[in-house]
Amino acid sequence: MIGAGAKILGNIEVGKYAKIGANSVVLHPVPEYATAAGVPARIVSQDKAAKPAL
């Protein structure tokens, strides 16, 4: 899921079930099941045990 206004700059890989916070600027790859937020985006949580929201 990619939040409103988020920007992914360049050829960046976003893993399965990853979440990008609104208005975040992603400069580095985001691993599977991770949540990234901020400017620049940082991993704020990574929980593989959690079920996807989809």
| Residue 16 domain flag | yes
Structural domain tally of the chain?
A: 1
Give yes or no for a contact between 3 and 16, defined as CB atoms under 8 angstroms apart.
Answer: no
pLDDT tens-digit series, residues 6-17: 999 999 999 999
| Residue 20 domain flag | yes
| pLDDT beyond 80 at 50 | no
- Residue predicted with more confidence, 49 or 35: 35
CATH number at residue 18: 2.160.10.10
Three-class DSSP category at 52: coil
Percent of the chain with pLDDT over 70: 91
- Residue found by looking up tokens 């704020």 in the block: 44
Domain that holds residue 42: 7-46
| Residue 21 domain flag | yes
